[in-house]
């Protein structure tokens, strides 16, 4: 019985640093590209152009806080950082924007306007964050499709 307790303790000691390393490696500055608009015609999606953003993340225990900053705002839009918050998960992290933004869906039947937050779910793969993004209406009445999300670590 003593041997079992010792091996369990050794296993816990070896496992603990790995979790801490995974959490802290999410911290830092990341770059991503995003669609500035998506057009769907006859079920086929196309991007209306790409923008680029810097994501800055800090890990505090099992919480992640940060900000999203457009670094080449299309159309000369102001560069205002958007706060992010989330949690560390077993496989990576889940983040969402703190402040809602408007999404406009244009269909042959007219326009629908939604106040939304963006949700990012990803895992760390080397120097990349890889996962999905999705807009979700604040009132949970609608959500967009899951789209790929990738960010790469900024080098100093």
Query: Which pLDDT tens digit goes with each residue over 3-49?
Result: 444 443 333 333 333 344 444 589 999 999 987 777 666 667 666 77
pTM above 0.85, yes or no: no
Question: How would DSSP label each residue in 12-34?
Answer: HHHHHHHHHHHHHHT-EEEEEEE
pLDDT, residue 8, reads: 37
pLDDT in tens, 71-120: 875 566 667 899 999 999 988 999 999 999 988 877 778 888 889 999 99
Is pLDDT above 90 for 63? yes
Q: How many CA atoms lie within 13 A of 71 on its CB side?
A: 13
Reported as a single tens digit per residue, the pLDDT across 118-155 is 999 999 999 999 999 999 999 998 888 899 999 999 98
Closest CA to 63 of 24, 91, 31, 97: 24
| Domain count of the fold of the chain | 1
Give me the CATH number covering residue 85: 2.40.128.120
The phi and psi torsions of 19 (rounded to 5 degrees) equal -60, -45
Domain that holds residue 65: 2-153
Taking the C-alpha atoms of 129, 78, 37 and 87 in order, what is their torsion angle to the nearest 10 degrees?
Answer: 30
């Amino acid at each position: 019985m003593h041997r079992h307790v010792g091996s369990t303790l050794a296993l816990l000691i070896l496992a603990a640093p790995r979790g801490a390393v995974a959490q802290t490696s999410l911290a830092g500055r990341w770059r991503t590209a995003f669609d500035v608009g998506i057009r769907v015609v006859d079920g086929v999606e196309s991007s209306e152009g790409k923008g680029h953003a810097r994501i800055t993340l800090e890990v505090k225990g099992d919480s992640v806080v940060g900000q999203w900053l457009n670094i080449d705002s299309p159309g000369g839009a102001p560069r205002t950082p958007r706060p992010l918050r989330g949690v560390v998960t077993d496989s990576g992290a889940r983040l969402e924007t703190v402040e809602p933004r408007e999404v406009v869906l244009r269909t042959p039947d007219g326009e629908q306007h939604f106040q939304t937050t963006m949700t990012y779910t990803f895992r760390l793969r080397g120097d990349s964050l890889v996962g999905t993004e999705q807009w979700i209406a604040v009132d949970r009445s609608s959500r967009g499709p899951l789209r790929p999300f990738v960010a790469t670590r900024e080098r100093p």
